[in-house]
Amino acid sequence: MPERWTKATVYPDMWVDPAEDPREALRTPAGELATHRTYLRQYRMTLVMKCDGLDADQMARRSVPPSTLSLLGLVRHLAYVERTWFRRVLQGQVDVPALYVTPDNRDQDFDGAVPDPGVVAEAWATWQAEVDDADTWLDTLTDADMGRTVDNRGEPVTVRDVLEHLVEEYARHLGHADLLRECIDGRVGQ
C-alpha cells in the first residue's frame, strides 16, 4: 500500500485544507442555472485535483482487471460526455464527431488511455476545449432557458435535465477517481 499523501494540515484526512480548496469560493449561487453551473464547476475542479501531480503511467493505471477504468480514461470519457451533451444535444451540432468512439470500439475513451505523455496531454487539452465550449454556450443562457426542450436522438429533453445528468455523471465518476487515486499514492478524497 502506498504511503498516504495529503496537502492538508488542519484536517489530515482531507485532500487540502478548506481555506486552500478552490471549490469553496463557489458556494453562493443565485438561481437555478447558477446552481447547476456551480456544481458542474466544482466537479470539474475536483477532476483536476484528483489527477494533480500524476505522471502518464499513474494516469493510465487500471483499477482491477479486467476493468479498463483509469484516471486518464475518466478524463477522456468526460471530454466525450461534455462534447456529446453540450455540442451534439444542447447545441444541435449533430455533425460534430463523437470523441473516443470508433465503429469497432465504443469504449475507446478507456481502451485508448495508454501511459504516454502525449496521450495524457491530448486528453486534458480536449477535455478543456470541451469545457470551454460548454461554458461559452452556458454564458448565453438564463434561468428562463432551463425548461427549454431540445432533441436527444428523437426524444425531447430539457436543458435542466441535461445539466442534472452532467452533474450526476461527474459525481459518479469522481467516486471512481477517489478510489483510483487512493490506490496510486494513498491520497484520499474530500
CATH topology for 18-185 is: Four Helix Bundle (Hemerythrin (Met), subunit A) (1.20.120)
Residues near 101 by Cβ (< 8 Å), separated by ≥ 6? 80, 108, 109
Q: What is the pLDDT of residues 43-91, one digit of tens each?
A: 999 999 899 889 999 999 998 888 999 999 999 999 999 999 999 999 9
Q: Phi and psi for 21 in degrees, rounded to 5?
A: -80, 115
The DSSP-derived string for 126-187 is HHHHHHHHHHHHHTT--GGGGG-EEEETTEEEEHHHHHHHHHHHHHHHHHHHHHHHHHHH--
For residue 65, the model assigns a pLDDT of 82
For residue 2, the model assigns a pLDDT of 44
* C-alpha cell of residue 19: 481555506
Distance CA 187, CA 103 (A): 37
For residue 17, the model assigns a pLDDT of 75
For residue 30, the model assigns a pLDDT of 79
* Domains in the chain: boundaries: 18-185
For residue 45, the model assigns a pLDDT of 92
* C-alpha cell of residue 61: 493505471
Q: Is 103 helix (H, G, I), strand (E, B) or coil?
A: coil
Residues near 170 by Cβ (< 8 Å), separated by ≥ 6? 40, 43, 44, 46, 47, 78
For residue 20, the model assigns a pLDDT of 75
Q: For the chain, which residues score pLDDT lower than 50?
A: 1-4
C-beta neighbour count of 5 within 10 angstroms: 14
**CA 114 to each of CA 56, 107, 180: distance values in angstroms, whole numbers, following the listed order:** 8, 13, 15
For residue 1, the model assigns a pLDDT of 38
Q: Is 117 helix (H, G, I), strand (E, B) or coil?
A: helix
Q: Are 73 and 109 in contact (CB under 8 A)?
A: yes
